[in-house]
Structure 1
Amino acid sequence: MSAIPAPARRAFLGLVAAAPVALAACTTPLGAALSPEEGVQRLLTAASQAAFARLIQPGGFYDDQLTRLALPAPGEGRGGAVLAAVLRTEAVQRRLAIAVNDIAVDAADRAAPIVFDSIRRMSFADALSILRGGPTAATDLLRRETGGALVDAMFPEVTAGLRGDAFEILTAALAAQSGFDLSALANTVSRQASDSIFRAIGREEAAIRADPRRTRDPLLIALLTGGAL
């Protein structure tokens, strides 16, 4: 599988690692109680940090059933008949599936800053109800607030990836089909990657709610265990 170049990965991991620290530094003073609004922000930041730390690793999407992207079904969209012919063997299917998921890994670094920026900018009409809500209540709100921004951010990276060496057989076959729309395929992959990112964040949120101590954030722990609610 492909890997993110070391300098880019170090920079990206630095961004992910710094997110909760930066949030904590600019909010609650030492000894002060954590407000529900800040609690939701810290919950989402911790969940997003953990999710991206997994996703940006080689195989971060493909090796996880929850986040694995599927190849578009043969016959889906223009050029579907050609796609069906290219995907006629299991070996080719697996190779292209891995390549699609590697593209998602490379595109995830475009999505992370948008997620963290959205968390910082979000306002919460009823933060207490979010904290008392279901296991992914905060992630569901984040997804609604973010809208299609992740798809738009990842689309250029995905488009470039689909033109790469791993897809030379597929793109060569489809290039002969004047009706094939590569951008439609890139959009489908980008949407799948966005869905996977939010599923990963939601899973981490649910895990934090089940065991707040995993965050090592005493204020968030107190809030989620009822001490500050």
Structure 2
Amino acid sequence: MKLFKVAMTVAFTLLVATSCKTTDINRVLDSIGGNQPLSEQTVVAGLKQALEVGTKNSVNSTNRPGGFSNNPLIKIVVPEKLDNAASTLRKVGLGSYVDNFEMQMNRAAEKASGEATEVFIGAISSMSIADAWGILRGGDNAATDYFRTKTQTSLERRFQPIITSSMEKVGFYNDYKQLLGAYEKLPFADKPNMNIEDYVMQETLGGLFTLVAQEERKIRDNPVARTTELLRKVFSQQ
């Protein structure tokens, strides 16, 4: 067992080494090998590494077909304002309109979420020592809250044209009109009024940040998720 631990430590150290500068490697190895208190620079490097891994995992899991639609936690469903329309259409055998409507919203979200990696990495790179310590010693969602504050405006700006373009390419707007048209032909139907692009945007952001929060909890609560020796060292300082 002792040999196994040594082997794992070496493997994790090599993993860190492949993504760090030489000076960072030496500092990390000195801290690990010498059992010395971690410097602020090492703590910040470890936290940034953790957040980079976590945000990339979140983006990778959403930026693919089914990334939203197959995940019950973040799947985009018919907006509340259209609940009555959707329910009525299903009752009269027109549920396919609703299903297609939901699928296209999720596909737009999956396409747009790929833009988040660059924005998240930018926020991580600009993180100050004070920001890092605030996250490390903060609540369970401290990192997620940091990302919301630092990236939401940029993400909205980058997501908007992708969501609109994606909706246009798959014929979303035509299907949306068909859905509303089919509903409005029914007796006593009220015409729903909402900004559907804004709804998809907010649901995309909400789903993405939900997964970022999940990754944050894994690193804080589950030692197995701390995939390098540096991460284990840093998060043991909390």
Same fold (TM over 0.5): yes
Q: In the alignment, residue 149 of structure 2 is paired with which amino acid?
A: R
Letter of the aligned partner of 2:99 in structure 1? R
Deviation per CA, 1:136-175: give whole Å up to 9, x if none: 2112112111132111111001111222334232146779
State the Cα distance separating 1:225 from its structure 2 match: 2.1
Displacement of 1:21:
8.4
- In structure 2, give the amino acid aligned to 1:206: R
Q: Tell me the distance in 1 between the aligned counterparts of 2:17 and 2:55.
A: 13
Aligned AA (1:41): K
**Following TM superposition, by how much is the alpha carbon of 1:193 offset from its aligned partner in structure 2, in angstroms?**
0.4
1:210 aligns with 2:221: yes
Report the CA distance between 1:37 and its aligned residue.
2.2
Residue 192 (structure 1) shift: 1.3
2:55 is matched with 48
State how far apart, in whole Å, the 1-side matches of 2:209 and 2:58 are.
Answer: 9
- Output the aligned Cα RMSD: 3.3
Three-state SS of the structure 2 residue aligned to 1:24 is coil
Q: Is the 8 A contact 2:97 2:179 kept in 1?
A: no
Residue correspondence of structure 1 range 86-125 to structure 2 within 5 A? 88-89=89-90, 90-125=95-130
Note the C-alpha offset of 1:119: 1.3
CA contact (8 A) 1:23 1:42 kept: no
Answer whether contact 1:40 1:138 (CA < 8 A) is retained. no
Contact 1:151–1:187 (CA<8 Å) still a contact in 2? no
Identical pairs, percent: 23
CA offset digits 1:52-95 (Å, max 9, x no partner): 1211232111111222123333369xxxx9xx379722332222
Equivalent residue for 2:153, pick from 148, 153, 159: 148
1:29-178 correspondence runs (5 A) = 29-30=25-26, 31-33=29-31, 35-74=42-81, 84=85, 88-89=89-90, 90-167=95-172, 168-171=174-177
Tell me the CA shift for residue 207 of structure 1. 0.9
Match of 1:3 in 2: none
Distance in 2 (CA, whole Å) between partners of 1:222 and 1:165 is 48
Mapping 1:21-36, distance limit 5 Å: 24-25=20-21, 28-30=24-26, 31-33=29-31, 35-36=42-43
Cα gap change, 1:74/1:126 in structure 2, threshold over 3 Å: closer, same or farther?
closer
* Displacement after TM superposition at 1:218 (Å): 0.8
Larger helix percent: 2
The one-letter code of the counterpart of 1:208 is I
Change (3 A) 1:174 1:152: farther
Q: Distance in 2 between matches of 1:25 and 1:141?
A: 26
Give yes or no for contact 2:108–2:166 (8 Å, CA) kept in 1: yes
Question: 1:27–1:136: structure 2 CA closer, same or farther, 3 Å change rule?
Answer: farther
Query: Partner residue of 2:231?
Result: 220
* Partner residue in 2 for 1:195: 206
Corresponding letter in the other structure for 2:54:
A
The verdict on how the C-alpha distance between 1:190 and 1:24 changes in structure 2, with shifts beyond 3 A counting, is: farther
Q: 1:172 to 1:98 in 2, by over 3 A?
A: closer
* TM-aligned CA deviation for residue 25 of structure 1: 3.9
Distance between the aligned counterparts of 1:195 and 1:60, measured in 2? 14
Q: Kindly provide the amino acid, as one letter, of the partner of residue 185 in structure 1.
A: I
Aligned counterparts of 1:211 and 1:198: Cα–Cα separation in 2: 19
Structure 1 gaps, min length 5:
1-19
